[in-house]
Amino acid sequence: MEPTPTQNKSGRIKFIFGGLLILAAVVYLIVSSTQASAEYFLTIDELKAKGSSILDRNLRVSGAVIGDTIQYDAKTLNLSFEVANVPGDNNQIEAQGGLAAVLHAAVIDPTRSRLQVIYNGARPDLLRNEAQAIMTGHMGTDGIFYADELLLKCPTKYEEAVPSQVTGK
């Protein structure tokens, strides 16, 4: 049976309508999920500047781990450490000599703003001096950052290291 032109047209409208419905569903899923799980990515400087306005928000903060401040109680799994401010902008990081250099500079500079972080859980393998820590959690009224999730990166340092013990030839 050949479809008549009218059938064809109404069929087309039917499909366009169906397609729009799916599109609307996808858009709805994206919008509602974004609202429900958005995390505000802040540097420590920005965090300090915002003050109490961000107390109830999901935050994602990145900083350079200061090795000396790492305290870990294996019994309670309480992990506490301080991170120093690093710029959030990749171009800025590149301009300052790459991530490894930026992390190093942040840790040795005592004037940088610092943030105390408390996390309960296993101590991550990569948590060490000058690692980049990306913490997800919220700010407490006590000015301490309570992390629910802790992600660590020891990025380019590992790969770009120059041979240290070499026999010249």
Report in angstroms how near the CB of residue 66 gets to another protein at its nearest: 18
Two tokens at 132? 């980049």
Two tokens at 112? 């940088």
18 binds another protein (CB under 8 A): yes
165 binds another protein (CB under 8 A): yes
110 binds another protein (CB under 8 A): no
Handedness of CA 87, 56, 66, 153 (dihedral sign): negative
72 binds another protein (CB under 8 A): yes
Considering only residues 112 to 151 of the shown chain, the ones binding another protein according to CB under 8 A are: 121-123, 125-126, 136, 149
Query: Measured between alpha carbons, how far is residue 76 from residues 82, 119, 121, 123, 126 in Å?
Result: 19, 11, 8, 11, 20
Alpha carbons 84 and 45: distance in angstroms, whole number: 9
3-state secondary structure of 50: helix
153 binds another protein (CB under 8 A): yes
- C-alpha radius of gyration, the chain, whole number: 25
Q: Which is nearer to another protein, 56 or 74 (CB)?
A: 74
Residue span binding another protein (CB under 8 A) among the ranges 63-71, 106-114, 137-145, 155-163: 155-163
Alpha carbons 17 and 15: distance in angstroms, whole number: 5
Two tokens at 145? 């950052």
51 binds another protein (CB under 8 A): no
Report in angstroms how near the CB of residue 128 gets to another protein at its nearest: 9
CB 44 within 8 A of CB 24: no
Binding site for another protein (CB under 8 A): 3, 7-8, 11-12, 14-15, 18-19, 22, 25-26, 29-30, 32-34, 36-42, 60, 72, 74-77, 88, 90, 93-94, 98-99, 121-123, 125-126, 136, 149, 152-156, 158-159, 161-163, 165-169
